[in-house]
Structures are given as C-alpha cells and as structure tokens.
Amino acid sequence: MQALRIFREVARYHSFSRAAATLGMTQSAVSQRIVQLEKRLGITLIDRSVRPLELTEAGRIYQEGCCDILNRQDALERRIVRLQSKVAGEVRVDAIYSAGIDLLNRIRAEFCQQFPSVRVRVEYKRPNEVHDAVRAGTCDLGIVSFPQRWRDVSTTALRDEEMVVVCEPEHPLANEVSIPVTALHDVHMVAFDADLPIARKMRQYFRDHRVRPVIVNEFDNVDTMKTAVSLAHQVALLPDRTVRHEVEMGTLRALALTPPLVRPLGIIRPKRVALDGLGNTAVRTFLDFLQQHAGVEEGIKVPLEHGAADHAKRVEAPTTGKVGA
C-alpha cells in the first residue's frame, strides 16, 4: 500500500520533489520506489522526458486503480476503528501559530465528524508557551517546528515541509512553475517574525545565496501571511501543505523554490507518556489521525526517540534554547 500512496502523490503533483515533501521522504527515496514499482509491473508509468512529468497511458490507468484501492482501504479502516472501540473523551492540542490554523481546523473537523464523542481543543501559542504547556501537562500534544532531542519532552516527527514561494495570481511571478532564490532579490515580501527559528533559517538561506528581499511585514501566523499576500502585491515563503486549499481555489499561486528550503515539523508530548502507551484512547486515536492526515504516510513515520539522528542533524537548534516555531 505504501508504494500505491507514493505513486498517487507523484501522479497528483507531476513531480517527485513535491510528492517527497508531502510524504516526508527524500526525493531519491520516492524516485527509487517508483522505479521498483515499474520494474515489478514491467511497464513505464511515468514519462520523465518532459517537465512537468506526465503519466503514460498505463500510468493513468494505474492512477485510477490506486485511488480506488486507497479510498476503499481508508473507508474500511475507519469502519474497523469504530467497531473496535468507543472512542470518547477530550484531546488538548497546543500548536505554534505557523503550523497552519486553517489546515489544523479542517483536520480537527474531519476527526470530530468520524469520532463525534471526542472533543478536540486546539489552542495556538508562541513556541515557548507550547513547550511549557506540554511539560506542565496542561495539554496532551504539542505541534512545533524544528524538533530536537529535548530532555523534558518526547518528540515524534510529523513531516518535512517544503517551503514554496506564494503570491497572488496577478503577481509578475505567478505564471512561473519554479523560480531560483535569486529571483527574490529586491522583491517585496511578507516574512515570519524575526525571533522564530524558521525566520532565522530563511535569513541564513538568503545570506548563503546573497539574496536580499525587501521585508515589508512580519507575522507569526501562516493564515495572516496568506491574507496579506492575497491583498498586497507581495510574496511569502510558506509551507506547501498550508496553501494547498488556496492554490486549488485559485486565490493563490505556489511556486517551487530552488534550491529547496525545508522546515521539519514535530509532535511533542509529556516525557512520562510513551508513544505506544498513551492512556487516553482519544489522544492516541487523534495522534494517529494527525500523522495520517497532516504528516508522513503510514509506514514511513520515524519517532525521533528511536534513532532518527539523521533527521535531528538537519534541523536548526533555536538560539534561545527553547522550542522553535
């Protein structure tokens, strides 16, 4: 099933890199899995000679079958979960503002529709406040960016987010599919608050490539940044997954950025609560749901406390010593 999910994402985006970002995998790993799939089937599914990638006739037929199989599997799993136990209770989630309020609200609504006896409370806070709430046990789960091996909380990788250039449809860059970072020199931009780790990462990224955008406004909230972009002749660098709805509606454009810039996102919980021993069935169920709908695909999840050292090496440690956003 994992191979089917990988192929579905490649077919959806006509891109190995965007599929990899969605799945929380490397582009190389996604490409290898597709090659293995084609070898097993003995037929070419993707035409790699064109950009963006196109499906072959066999690929289009396979895509239809994949979607049907995966939709039926997801529906079956939801039915089994409902039969297995009566999930009820409350789940308290604290998240950084830049996790994407609109995205998390839609995930929360879908979860509550499937599990009407569970009340999910999502609050948005500054990074250090999320960290403090998890340590104090006033929330069950926290969502942060740039997760580390902190001593006082347990951390599970959620996803690696590919940052994309977001602009309004009338912007001069809007007709591009991909742009180099150098194209952002002197461009008016909405940015993250300067004290957030993602802002520090972006500043370093621009310095490395000798690019100086014109920062017009700074916010800690992805949804506020999206609104600012849609109302002004400016651009922003935002996680791809947080702008999909607006891109599909045609209100915003998302352009691939080269070289890529990635922001890791993670889930933190009290240290005393083991991943496989969450006493609250509602919390455990929501954690699984969150990883399935907002994270990497099932079977690819890598908890940091079980040897994800390579992942930790790729993230930037906050200079303040606190959790990042």
> What CA dihedral angle connects 154, 80, 69 and 38, to 10 degrees?
40
Q: Which two tokens stand for residue 232?
A: 């002004």
**pLDDT tops 50 at residue 311:** no
Query: Which pLDDT score, from 0 to 100, does residue 295 have?
Result: 66
Looking at residue 82, its pLDDT comes to 60
Domains of the chain: 2-82 (1.10.10.10), 86-325 (3.40.190.290)
Which amino acid, one-letter code, is at 39? K
Tell me the pTM: 0.61
The pair of three-digit structure tokens given for residue 148, joined into one six-digit string: 């580390």
178 token code pair: 């991909």
pLDDT for residue 190 = 95
Q: Closest Cα partner for 184 from 173, 168, 174?
A: 173
Q: Which of 26-40, 76-90, 141-155 has the highest mean pLDDT?
A: 26-40
Burial class (CB in 10 A: 0-12, 13-18, 19+), 297: buried
Range name among 11-15, 28-32, 84-88, 282-286 with the lowest pLDDT average: 84-88
C-alpha 304/C-alpha 3 separation (Å) is 23
pLDDT at 29: 87
**179 pLDDT exceeds 90?**
yes
pLDDT attached to residue 272: 64
CB 235 within 8 A of CB 190: yes
* In 115-221, alpha helices (H): 127-136, 197-208
pLDDT digits (tens, 9 = 90+) for 223-258: 899 999 988 889 999 998 888 889 999 999 999 999
Where residue 18 falls among pLDDT bands split at 50, 70, 90?
confident
Name the 3-class secondary structure at 11: helix
Q: What is the pLDDT of residues 257-302, one digit of tens each?
A: 999 999 988 899 887 655 444 456 888 889 888 888 876 533 333 3
User: Helix, strand or coil for residue 208?
Assistant: helix
Peptide bond into 116 cis (omega under 30): no
Question: Looking at the predicted structure, is the pLDDT value of residue 315 above 70?
Answer: no
57-61, 261-265, 290-294, 307-311: lowest mean pLDDT where? 307-311
Window from 13-27, 189-203, 217-231, 235-249 with minimum mean pLDDT: 13-27
For residue 325, the model assigns a pLDDT of: 52
* pLDDT for 215 beyond 70: yes
Stretch 108-128: mean pLDDT: 90
